[in-house]
Amino acid sequence: MLAHDDHVAGLRAMLSELRARCPTLCPSVIPDGYDDRERGTALAALCGANGAEERAALADVLVRARRGQQACALTGEAVGSESELRFVSQWDLDPSGLTMRLRRCSFVCQRAALLLDPLLVLERFAAHHAGASELSELTALFCTANGRAEMLEKPARALEWLQQCYSLAYSCRVVASSLGEWRLQSEEGAEIGRPVHRVAARLLGLGEGAGRKKVGERRSPASAKPERRRAAGTTPSKATPRATPSKEPPKATPKRQRAPSQGRASGEEAASGKRRRKALAA
């Protein structure tokens, strides 16, 4: 436990020194097995083994964000074409919590992308893959971007300083890889999960809703029905209103009247009876 704490404290001190030396163009410190790049594209490895649709959405975001870019985001160096820019990510390590927090995503020139990768830079120095002119250009760019242009007055001293910075970054990587499992977090401090393209869009200033529709998102049948009706040029028929009962009072049924013949017969009988009484009295 004590050795682990010592390693954590040592890594924290080395990271602090590295950031102080390289405030802008800082060699990335990525523990072994946590590289988010895939074929040189940042965040692509976080899409998962079967994330074809997510990769397509990320590519769509990058195409839109790269459009119109004319300079490196870290050095300000102009580029001839936007296709020369590389999409990179920069992470901050917290040894105490074993977390890697995504700090920035940007488009940079090819030389800046190379300088962000300490393994590639040290490989070039060790194997002498680069000529003297290329090493001088990389050193000049590295010193200028990090506010140490005065060191270029002594090229040998500037080259030595660059080697020290990258040796320090490599040492940080070795210690970080020995500490255990790291957790990846977004710039907001939340655990990074899918969809990754939304994280990229947010950091590139395109907003939450940029890119293609959410992976696996389907439109509900209820919301799709009105669109199908509109596409067919029809509108839903209105329901026929119910007939309301009349509020007028019902008409009275006329009383049944006696037939006229019955009335006349009764009158004649009464008259004949009266005549018979008169005759008897006489």
Q: Mapped to the 3 state alphabet, what secondary structure does 228-258 carry?
A: HHHHHCCCCCCCCCCCCCCCCCCCCCCCCCC
250 domain-assigned? no
Tokens 């009876």 label which residue? 273
Q: How many CB atoms lie under 10 A from the CB of residue 70? A: 10
- In-domain check, residue 87: yes
Give residue 129's pLDDT: 58
Name the residue type at position 25.
L
CA distances from 271 to 214, 246, 259, 266 (A): 108, 53, 20, 9
Has residue 252 been placed in a domain? no
Tens-digit pLDDT profile for the chain (282 aa)?
558 899 999 999 999 999 999 999 999 999 999 999 998 899 999 998 778 999 999 999 999 999 999 999 999 999 999 999 999 999 999 999 999 999 999 999 999 999 999 999 988 877 765 677 888 999 999 999 999 999 999 999 999 999 999 999 999 999 999 999 999 999 888 888 778 999 999 999 986 555 544 434 444 444 344 344 344 444 444 444 444 444 444 444 444 444 444 444 444 445 445 544 444 343
What CA–CA distance (Å, rounded) separates 37 from 49? 13
Q: Is 271 among the domain residues?
A: no
Q: Rounded to whole angstroms, how far apart are CA atoms 199 and 190?
A: 11
User: What is the Cα–Cα distance from 86 to 42, expressed in whole angstroms?
Assistant: 9
Q: Give a yes or no: residue 60 inside a domain.
A: yes
DSSP 8-state secondary structure symbol assigned to residue 49? T
For 21, half-sphere exposure in the C-beta direction (CA atoms, 13 angstrom radius) is 20
Q: Is residue 248 part of a domain?
A: no
pTM (2 d.p.): 0.71
Burial class (CB in 10 A: 0-12, 13-18, 19+), 79: middle
CA distance 220 to 112: 46
Domain count, the chain: 1
Q: Is residue 215 part of a domain?
A: no
234 is a domain residue: no
Q: Residue 186: exposed, middle, or buried by beta-carbon count in 10 A (0-12, 13-18, 19+)?
A: middle
Domain ranges, residue 194 = 2-203
